[in-house]
């Protein structure tokens, strides 16, 4: 909740929002909340724009090409909340905005912006379904991840290729940073589904 500068910005924003909803915020707190909300939205839009630029687009380009998809992405980014995916364990495994954008824009069929990742397999679900599956996969390997980070705390945990995680008929590749942040998780294309090279 606290860092060297005082209250962590996300905590302060949530606290002030609670005060506002309860009609207990004074004028100074309302002013601070508005400033924090504007900054939060601007930071989220920048994160989205940065991710779009990595794949050869931008918010401005996307709005021109597909206004509906741009609106859906912007709304998802503003409403996204970081979430922990494992219930137990010393090391939390979580999905933050950066991981969400990486997964969402490369591996969710309806959110692909261009053909750069056409050969990657896709989730063909809505956001809550993708996050639910991610949670099940993380719970399935949680003990292994906990033991791994105990033994090698500064090394990324990965499951891919022959070590991919099996879940309900599909195999998934995943990478978890030493902080516990999910860097990526995606369904592997089955051999019979792969396009010939």
Q: What is the pLDDT of residue 180?
A: 96
Q: Which helix (H) or strand (E) holds 158?
A: strand 157-159
Residue 121 has pLDDT above 70, yes or no: no
State percent of the chain over pLDDT 70: 85
Going by pLDDT thresholds of 50, 70 and 90, the confidence category of residue 196 is very low
Q: Which residue has the tokens 């954008």?
A: 101
Structure tokens of 1?
Answer: 């909740």
Tell me the average pLDDT of the chain.
86
Residue 73 has pLDDT above 50, yes or no: yes
Among residues 97, 94, 44, which one has the least CA distance to residue 74? 44
Instruction: Measure CA 122 to chain center.
Output: 15
Residue 140 has pLDDT above 90, yes or no: yes
Q: What average pLDDT does the segment 143-168 reach?
A: 96
Q: What is the pLDDT of residue 107?
A: 64
Residue 168 has pLDDT above 60, yes or no: yes
Q: What is the pLDDT of residues 52-69, one digit of tens each?
A: 898 888 999 989 988 988
Q: What is the pLDDT of residue 117?
A: 43
Q: What average pLDDT does the segment 78-106 reach?
A: 90
The 3-state DSSP class for residue 79 equals helix
Q: What is the pLDDT of residue 118?
A: 46
Q: What average pLDDT does the segment 43-49 reach?
A: 94
């Amino acid at each position: 909740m606290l860092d060297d500068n005082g209250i962590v910005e996300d905590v302060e924003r949530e606290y002030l929002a609670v005060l506002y909803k309860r009609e207990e915020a004074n004028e100074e707190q309302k002013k601070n909340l508005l400033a924090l909300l504007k900054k939060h939205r601007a930071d989220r839009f920048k994160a989205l724009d940065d991710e779009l630029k990595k794949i050869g687009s931008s918010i401005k380009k996307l709005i021109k090409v597909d206004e509906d998809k741009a609106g859906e992405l912007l709304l998802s980014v503003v409403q996204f909340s970081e979430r922990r995916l494992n219930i137990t364990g010393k090391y939390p495994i979580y999905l933050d905005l950066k991981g969400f954008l990486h997964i969402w824009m490369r591996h969710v069929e309806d959110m692909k912006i261009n053909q750069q990742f056409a050969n990657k397999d896709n989730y063909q679900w809505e956001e809550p379904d993708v996050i639910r599956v991610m949670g099940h996969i993380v719970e399935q390997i949680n003990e292994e991840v906990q033991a791994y980070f105990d033994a090698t705390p500064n090394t990324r945990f990965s499951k891919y290729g022959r070590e991919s995680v099996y879940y309900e008929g599909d195999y998934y590749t995943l990478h978890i940073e030493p902080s516990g942040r999910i860097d990526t998780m995606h369904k592997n294309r089955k051999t019979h589904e792969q396009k010939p090279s």
